Amino acid sequence: MDRSAVDFTLLTLPSGLRLVCRTIDWPVEHFGVIVRAGSADDFPGCEGLAHFVEHTLFKGTTRRTSSAINNRMEEIGGELNAFTTKETTVVYTAFPPDYASRAIELVGDLVSHPIFPEKEVMREQRIVDEEISSYLDSPADRVFDEFDDLIFKGSPLGHNILGTHDTLRNLSREDCMRFVNTFYTPARMVAFYSGPVKPERVARLVERHFDLRADSVVATSTSVNRAPERFEIVNSGDDNYQANVVEGTLLPISYSDPTATLSLFNNILGGPSMNSRLNMAMRERSGLVYTVESSLAVYSSITLLTIYYGCSDADRRRCHRIVEREINNLSCKPMSDAALDKSKRQFAGQIAMSAAMADNVIIGAARRVLYCNHLLKQSEIVEQINRVTAAELQSLAASIDLSSLTLL
């Protein structure tokens, strides 16, 4: 099979677990699960629990010790990994060809039979405690959580994914078991596989090796009681050579809404390319920053647009005025046809290049199924982008109200 030939398949297994397969001849295969449970689902007083569960899943099951788990994929040259976000947890493995059965059996064991041994829980608390300290020593990372605490105040999305030193110390084996029993269920999970094995065989292996608990009715609200047009700024610059600044606003767009206009707007404003408007204005022409970028965090009920830059403390207000000017320029005058076509072509090229990152592609597809229960082909994404008009981009820019600011 040509490596460029890709076919996505979505299956629902008898247990209710959904499975996304990307059938592709690639030198590395991937298998994992995405769970609709993240830091927003932490039990009250147990902030950091979702992330701690992600860590301690690897510390023992009814069938394996932590050492056996660590060696299972590593001994064939594979990798076992996991990460936690505000609303999801992902557990996955990358491995050389011909080991899909081993990978599926291991991940199935991790999410179906964890036991959270007491000694391992206590040891992992010390490790995560160090992770929290490391994070607190990094103002460029910390400023994003300070910003989230401000803009998501009163919402489960507001607290740090890692939790705090105090909440971490109070987490127990029983808390971990209760979290898994509550959220690691078929309706809240999507399994995913990328590689040459046929979807029907992957489905049989998943059905054999996943022994998930029955679903319970759990309604998690991540609604944000905030006016979406408010624009906030947080600066983490105390005792640092550089001020680390995050600006952002909430937009009334959820994961299930069309986001092509917003995605294109973000790419034009401060996306990864050196010719983004903010990079050209703040770095190339003004020499005020080393890094500036805008990004989107799309949640089940809201979307957060953020802009990050590091600058000297004396230049903070000047940098903000440039941000304000670039957004105003996009709102006051529609882009020319030539400029819009160029931006669309660039974005489509970035999407095509990202297809080489097989893990991101399959995890992204699984996330869409988790939230929207359908797949979206790359060609369909490009078609949506190509349908975006200059008027739609202008209207979106105009909806961002910069007149009400909190400058910290």
Multiple choice CATH, 231-398, 3.30.830.10, 3.40.50.2020, 3.90.1150.10, 3.40.50.20: 3.30.830.10
As a whole-number percent, the residues of the chain with pLDDT over 90 amount to 73
Residue 18 scores a pLDDT above 90: yes
Quote the pLDDT of residue 217. Answer: 53
Mean pLDDT over residues 320-345, rounded?
Answer: 95
Please, which contacts does 140-148 make with residues 24 or more away whose CB atoms are closer than 8 Å? 140/236, 140/244, 140/308, 140/310, 142/236, 143/234, 143/235, 143/236, 143/244, 143/245, 143/246, 143/308, 144/246, 144/306, 144/308, 146/234, 146/236, 146/246, 147/232, 147/234, 147/246, 147/248, 147/306, 148/304
Quote the pLDDT of residue 5. Answer: 46
| Tens digits of residue pLDDT in 252-269 | 887 777 689 999 999 999
Quick check: 365 and 355 in contact, CB under 8 A? no
Phi and psi angles of residue 284, each rounded to the nearest 5 degrees, phi first: -70, -40
CATH of span 7-209: 3.30.830.10
Per-residue confidence band for 323, with pLDDT thresholds at 50, 70 and 90: very high
- Alpha-carbon distance of 212 to 311, in angstroms, equals 49
Per-residue confidence band for 6, with pLDDT thresholds at 50, 70 and 90: low
Q: Give the start-to-end residue ranges of the domains of the chain.
A: 7-209, 231-398
Mean pLDDT over residues 54-78, rounded?
Answer: 96
- Alpha-carbon distance of 124 to 146, in angstroms, equals 25
| Tens digits of residue pLDDT in 148-182 | 888 898 899 989 999 999 999 999 999 999 999 99
Quote the pLDDT of residue 355. Answer: 85
| Tens digits of residue pLDDT in 267-299 | 999 999 999 999 999 999 999 999 999 999 999
Q: What is the residue-averaged pLDDT of the chain? A: 90
Single-letter amino acid, residue 207: E
Quick check: 207 and 13 in contact, CB under 8 A? yes
Per-residue confidence band for 83, with pLDDT thresholds at 50, 70 and 90: very high
Q: Is the dihedral of CA 20, 23, 357, 27 positive or negative?
A: positive
Quote the pLDDT of residue 337. Answer: 97
| Tens digits of residue pLDDT in 90-140 | 999 999 999 999 999 999 999 999 999 999 999 999 999 999 999 888 888
Single-letter amino acid, residue 288: L
User: How many CB atoms sit inside 10 A of residue 167's CB?
Assistant: 19
Mean pLDDT over residues 349-378, rounded?
Answer: 92
Q: 3-state DSSP helix/strand/coil percent for the chain, to nearest 5?
A: 45, 20, 35
Quote the pLDDT of residue 221. Answer: 52
| Tens digits of residue pLDDT in 190-222 | 999 999 999 999 999 999 999 998 776 555 555
Quick check: 309 and 245 in contact, CB under 8 A? yes
For residue 344, give both structure tokens: 């669309």
Residue 44 scores a pLDDT above 90: yes
More confident residue, 232 or 67: 67
N residues, the chain? 408
Same fold, 7-209 and 231-398: yes
What is the DSSP track for 258-295? --HHHHHHHHHHH-SSTTSHHHIIIIITT---S-EEEE
Q: Which residues of 208-227 are buried (b: 16+ CB within 10 A; e: fewer)?
A: ebbebeeeeeeeeebebebe
Quick check: 248 and 303 in contact, CB under 8 A? no
